[in-house]
Amino acid sequence: MDYARVLKLPQYFRNLQRLSEIVRVLIRHGFGDLVDRLGLRSYLESGLQAMRIQLRPERPLALDISTRLRLACEELGPTFIKFAQLVATRPDVFPLAVVREFRKLEDRVTAFPTEQAKQVIEKDLSRSLDRIFSAFDEIPLAAASIAQVHRATLLSGQRVVVKVQRPSIERIIETDIDILRGLATLIEENIPETRIFSPLELIEEFARGLRRECDFRREAFNMRKFAENFSSEPAIIVPKVFNQFSSRRVLTEELIEGVKIDDLDSIRALDLKGQDLAAILSRIVLKSIFEDRFFHADPHPGNLFVTKEGRICLVDYGAVGRLDRSRIRFILQFLVAVLNNDLDKTVRVLKESGMTPNALDEAALKNQIAEIFDVHLSQPLGNMDISHLLADIFEVVQRYGIRPPPDLLLIGKSLTTLEHIGALLDPQFDLIKNIKPYLLQRYLATLADRKFYVSHAADVADTYRRLIAESPERLRVVLRKLASDEIVVNSVNKDLSSTFRHQNSMLNRALTVFMGVIFAALGILILSFRTPHTHPSLAYSLIALGALLLLVAWLAMRKTGGPA
């Protein structure tokens, strides 16, 4: 196999070196069979010899597959750690054992030299460090895969933290993404059963998210947006961004002193009540998702701090989720149906999401979800665990080929984190008891939201408008193809005259239905965009004519036992 052609790598030799490292790590962790199945070992043999790299023989490992995958990702570095963290948010695609193991991954790596951080700052901000800061800590406050953070003091005396991107990290990421894209292509070609989950599409989604995260200007915007949304909430604090000292690779923000939200000893030392903090955290998560439709996509304990005044500060806004009105309505429908033990509605909402396969065994799916409801929803309210409830549902729907929307999975992750931290802060914290009335209230509010119906009606009208506008051209194409014999209908029937009569009947009914829809849609369109000078009688006449044609077609089909 011409692997260079499959990967389409612009800098082949550099990527071959990285690919050889990936292969060695996979083999060392017991995935030699996967390497062989993808045809990598034989292809890379000459390249590895040229670079004097020796592949170690695969050794038997006592660890399970999920653990070995996690260890391999940790060894392969930033891009693979980030990818594993994405996998941890996709129980619809990956086995739950892998998802749970990858959730253990922490984005902590060795810091890069402070001198390099200073060079990045001076290059990006086009000024020397002493013209920006009166003090700059040499020892990083924290180091992650994409950037590290330093404390500093501006010339004004304002204490800040400076987030500096790792030198050459974007080049490293692009190399790894090229290789992952090539591996995904090979996986789809050589392991057909993976195609249902579109590995290549998953890599592209990951690449888009990682590139956004590498642009700190986006994170600065996210912080300003979050601060605006919570400007009336005194218990919630978002660090101020200093735009004049920020760029694509540098982010300077206000230093907020506090302790990590899971540091219970420090919280008790500050004489703060866990119950109050759990309530504030609930407000942050629920408001940002269901009211603002703009939420932090990774609210783990490492990103949450508590100040001595009892305020909660959320940091690291590189990854956020956005929802439109129709999507939030779908998510509310799903969660309300689940929490109300409404089996039929739960399955119906999943089907309406558009992520279901054509041949869905709905009865079997209902039975599986009913068993999950019996296990979880029969528990006393205080014993119910929403994280396990959602995880079990996602695992079942995955087996039936249903792929829930990624934003639903992100919200599930946020609610799971809220449940975990809330219980840590307050042993009496009951997430379901807290969110069930809130979700019902928000769902009822969406049903009464006039903006949603106006927007939906406009979308429907626009769909009909495009249908009407495009129909003549589509009809012309069909007629042209018929005239040039490009459309061929193969039919084997002893009674040809009967066949022709049958086909003519089918065509007549189809045209009747088509014209009925066109007239009715035109009438609806006229009503939707009616001005004070437009008389509605024409619209009503068109709708009536359309309805009459549809009625005629229906009666004809009923008379002959169906459309055939």
Instruction: Give the model confidence (pLDDT) of 465-503 as tens digits.
Output: 676 667 667 767 766 766 666 666 555 554 555 555 655
Question: Minimal CA–CA distance to 142: which of 53, 10, 46, 260?
Answer: 260
Q: pTM of this prediction? A: 0.71
> How far is 9 from 14, CA to CA, in rounded Å?
9
> For residue 224, what are the contacts with CB-CB under 8 A and spacing of at least 6?
241
Task: Tell me the sheet residues that pair with 143.
Answer: 148
Q: Where are the alpha helices (DSSP H) in 235-298?
A: 264-269, 274-290
* Beta carbons of 74 and 81 less than 8 angstroms apart: yes
> pLDDT at position 125, please?
96
User: Which parts of the chain sit beneath pLDDT 50?
Assistant: 1-10, 46, 50-53, 57, 59, 494, 564
Average pLDDT, the chain: 81
- Find where tokens 């106006």 sit: 454
For 173-221, write each residue's pLDDT tens digit: 888 888 888 888 888 888 877 776 678 888 888 898 888 989 999 999 9
> pLDDT at position 457, please?
59
Question: Greatest CA span in the chain, whole angstroms?
Answer: 95
